[in-house]
Amino acid sequence: MGGVIDVLTGSAAKKAEKAQALAREQNQVSQARQLSTTAAEAARTGLIRRNPRGRRLLADASASDLPSTVA
């Protein structure tokens, strides 16, 4: 009997709308988490080539790689 009264009063439709809204919000949060995880992983594992500077420039380079003013 309670189901019939819910249909007549419209509370079943309101509950369904609330459930759909909650599902949409949870889906958006899940997608945002996936994107942030993917972006963080890409930033961590992505290849970034930076030119060596300072002491590392001299330590990593062989004599033929250095400018003539340094070697």
Domain ranges across the chain: 9-42
- Cβ atoms 36, 28 nearer than 8 A: no
**What are the tokens at 37?**
């995880």
Total Cβ atoms within 10 A of residue 57: 13
Give CA–CA dist 47/17, Å, rounded: 46
What is the per-residue pLDDT for 58? 60
4 residue type, one letter: V
Report the percent of the chain where pLDDT is more than 70.
Answer: 65
What average pLDDT is seen over the chain? 79
10: its two tokens: 């419209």
Gap between the Cα atoms of 6 and 13, Å rounded: 8
More confident residue, 61 or 47: 47
Name the pTM for this structure: 0.51
Average pLDDT over residues 8-32: 91
What pLDDT is recorded for position 56?
62
